[in-house]
Chain A
Amino acid sequence: MILAPVAAIGRSTLGGLAALGRIGLFLVATLSAALRPPFYFREFVHALWVIGYNSLPVVGLTAFFTGGALALQIYEGGSRFNAEQVVPSIVAIGMVRELGPVLGGLMVAARVASSIAAEIGTMKVTEQLDALVTLSTDPMRYLTVPRVLAATFAVPVLVAVGDSIGIFGGYVIGTGRLDLNAAAYLKNTADYLELWDITSGLIKGAVFGFIVALVGCYFGMNSERGAQGVGRATKSAVVTASILILAANYLLTELFFSA
């Protein structure tokens, strides 16, 4: 009786690890499918459009408000030791290294992992995946590979756009509300930002995009029957993709910036 909560923790830990293992196997299957023809270019372009272009408003708005809030916070914190002039450089570095890729990735996880899981899950429960196979088309190559590749290419671009909009958000708040000098703000941003700050964020974006589409496809293809099954698959896809993004973010930050 007393051990019940502990057992529950153990069960969910084991369940989580098993799911991670299955996603790992799915990753291997995806890569091996990607390396063998045919490649469905039209599906890839369509996925680029749906994952990339259609996510622009969400990612842009998130970045704008985050940049603005960041400027306010840093101004407030910096003013405690007369260091208000650090606002532009910290907004820029904070956006391109961390907040741009992570928040962009999380927004894409919410928007894209869910829609991929729901779409493929519905295809599974309505036998469309079986129909694909009977029409000599491998669902991994036709559905998974184009989406995973498209997300891996599209999310870094989204992150780059989000970075710019986030810095712009900081600029708008910094100059409009906090009375910082506009020319000095821009000069400060440009002077302190290094190429690696930007590149590291874009690499993170590519990894997050890969995770989002892979997890979405995995849960869609393994969806259980019925509306409830698809609902569960969608929820699991968003939760798992978000957690994996945050974990990967820590690992990549450790890899890029420690030492």
Chain B
Amino acid sequence: MIELRGIHKAFGPNRVLRGVDLSVPRGESMVIIGGSGTGKSVLLKCILGLVKPDAGRILIQGEDATGLDRDAFLARFGMLFQGGALFDSLTVWQNVAFRLLRGAQKRPKAEAREIAIEKLRRVGLKPEVADLYPAELSGGMQKRVGLARAIAAEPEIIFFDEPTTGLDPIMAGVINELIREIVVEMGATAMTITHDMTSVRAIADDVAMLHDGVIQWTGPVANMDAAPDPYLQQFIHGRAEGPIEAVR
């Protein structure tokens, strides 16, 4: 279970997060929606410790994230980055098995490679891809490799940063389905940030909308369409008119 209490973060005069409160129950899939530049990525990075919040507390299973041993803490997480963030100096299988080739979870090379190939198969990639370099793959394949890397060490918590951005609608659908299957299968707690409403409906158990630095609305995905919140309604229906100012 992930619990965020009063998270604040400013970059200079730009106050991105102004007191975010959110809790994600264990094994649930939470999707955070919100316009571009509303601080969704910053929020995920705060939880991971990549960005230090100015104020507020982050609790993972009731324990303060800042007090935990950093390596052990990060070992519980997997993350799929927006652009894949694959290491282009390493082959596909070395990317997937990165965590298994060094550090506390180190395994023999052959075993790590075997796990990598199995994870690649899980995301729909053939073993032949294993020895290619990321630059030789299409955008959709890179996303899949990123997904395989995120799940390689069987994390308890997985973050997905804009998993369908830059993909064609069919590939986006495939990735959405994969994410849903994997999260259910692993019993992992998932947090996804996106502004793709198809993704939201495919992946989410719960939805939270971030606007103006706070959680504007949160609830089960089934309640989303009926919710009276005007911000939420404007966003999910993509209306230009409404309380959220659109720059024309």
Q: Return the contact of B82 from the options A123, A127, A132, A136 (Cβ within 8 A).
A: A127
A185 to B120, CA, bound (A): 65
Chain B, Cβ-Cβ closest to A142: B102
With A38-B103, A130-B50 already in contact, the answer to whether A135 and B98 are too (CB < 8 A) is yes
- Distance in angstroms from B49 CB to nearest chain A CB is 8
Q: Is B110 an interface residue when CB atoms closer than 8 A count as contact?
A: no
> In chain B between 77 and 110, which residues have their CB closer than 8 angstroms to a CB of chain A?
77-79, 81-83, 85-88, 98-99, 102-104
- Distance in angstroms from B216 CB to nearest chain A CB is 27
Q: Return the contact of A133 from the options B74, B75, B78, B87 (Cβ within 8 A).
A: B74
Chain B, Cβ-Cβ closest to A128: B85
Chain A, Cβ-Cβ closest to B152: A135
Q: Is B185 an interface residue when CB atoms closer than 8 A count as contact?
A: no
Cβ contacts under 8 Å, A38 to chain B = 102-103
* Interface contact B74-A136, CB-CB below 8 Å: yes
* Interface contact A131-B103, CB-CB below 8 Å: no
A38 to B101, CA, bound (A): 13
Q: Return the contact of A134 from the options B79, B88, B102 (Cβ within 8 A).
A: B79
* Interface contact B102-A127, CB-CB below 8 Å: no
Cβ contacts under 8 Å, A130 to chain B = 45, 48, 50, 81, 85
Q: Is A126 an interface residue when CB atoms closer than 8 A count as contact?
A: yes
Chain A, Cβ-Cβ closest to B72: A136
Cβ contacts under 8 Å, B85 to chain A = 126-128, 130-131
Cβ contacts under 8 Å, A132 to chain B = 87
A11 to B102, CA, bound (A): 45
Cβ contacts under 8 Å, B83 to chain A = 126-127
A38 to B77, CA, bound (A): 21
Cβ contacts under 8 Å, B88 to chain A = 128
* Interface contact A136-B81, CB-CB below 8 Å: no
A126 to B81, CA, bound (A): 9
> In chain B between 14 and 36, which residues have their CB closer than 8 angstroms to a CB of chain A?
none
Chain B 62-82, CB-CB to A under 8 Å as 1, else 0, gives: 000000001100110111011
- Distance in angstroms from A100 CB to nearest chain B CB is 31
Cβ contacts under 8 Å, A135 to chain B = 74, 98-99, 149
Chain B, Cβ-Cβ closest to A132: B87
Chain A, Cβ-Cβ closest to B105: A136
- Distance in angstroms from A6 CB to nearest chain B CB is 28
- Distance in angstroms from A137 CB to nearest chain B CB is 7
> In chain A between 35 and 55, which residues have their CB closer than 8 angstroms to a CB of chain B?
38, 40
Cβ contacts under 8 Å, B99 to chain A = 135-136
Cβ contacts under 8 Å, A131 to chain B = 79, 81, 85-87
* Interface contact A128-B87, CB-CB below 8 Å: yes
Cβ contacts under 8 Å, A133 to chain B = 48-50, 74
> In chain A between 204 and 239, which residues have their CB closer than 8 angstroms to a CB of chain B?
none
- Distance in angstroms from B87 CB to nearest chain A CB is 6
A127 to B75, CA, bound (A): 18
- Distance in angstroms from A167 CB to nearest chain B CB is 37
- Distance in angstroms from B196 CB to nearest chain A CB is 19
* Interface contact B50-A40, CB-CB below 8 Å: no
Cβ contacts under 8 Å, B86 to chain A = 128, 131
A131 to B86, CA, bound (A): 8
- Distance in angstroms from A38 CB to nearest chain B CB is 7
* Interface contact B103-A136, CB-CB below 8 Å: yes
* Interface contact A136-B50, CB-CB below 8 Å: no
- Distance in angstroms from B53 CB to nearest chain A CB is 16
In the complex, which of the residues A40, A123, A133, A136 has the most CB atoms of chain B within 10 Å of its own CB atom? A136
- Distance in angstroms from A217 CB to nearest chain B CB is 15
Chain A, Cβ-Cβ closest to B77: A134
- Distance in angstroms from B40 CB to nearest chain A CB is 14
A251 to B198, CA, bound (A): 64
A-B contact pairs, 18 of them (CB 8 A): A40-B102, A130-B48, A130-B85, A131-B79, A131-B85, A131-B86, A131-B87, A132-B87, A133-B48, A133-B49, A133-B50, A134-B74, A135-B74, A135-B98, A135-B149, A136-B70, A136-B74, A136-B99
**B contact residues vs A (CB 8 Å cutoff):** 45, 48-50, 70-71, 74-75, 77-79, 81-83, 85-88, 98-99, 102-104, 149
- Not counting A128-B88, A130-B50, A136-B75, a sample of 8 additional A-B residue pairs whose C-beta atoms are within 8 angstroms of each other reads A38-B102, A123-B87, A126-B83, A130-B48, A133-B50, A134-B48, A135-B99, A137-B103
Closest 7 pairs (CB-CB, A-B): A131-B85, A127-B85, A136-B74, A134-B79, A127-B81, A136-B71, A128-B85
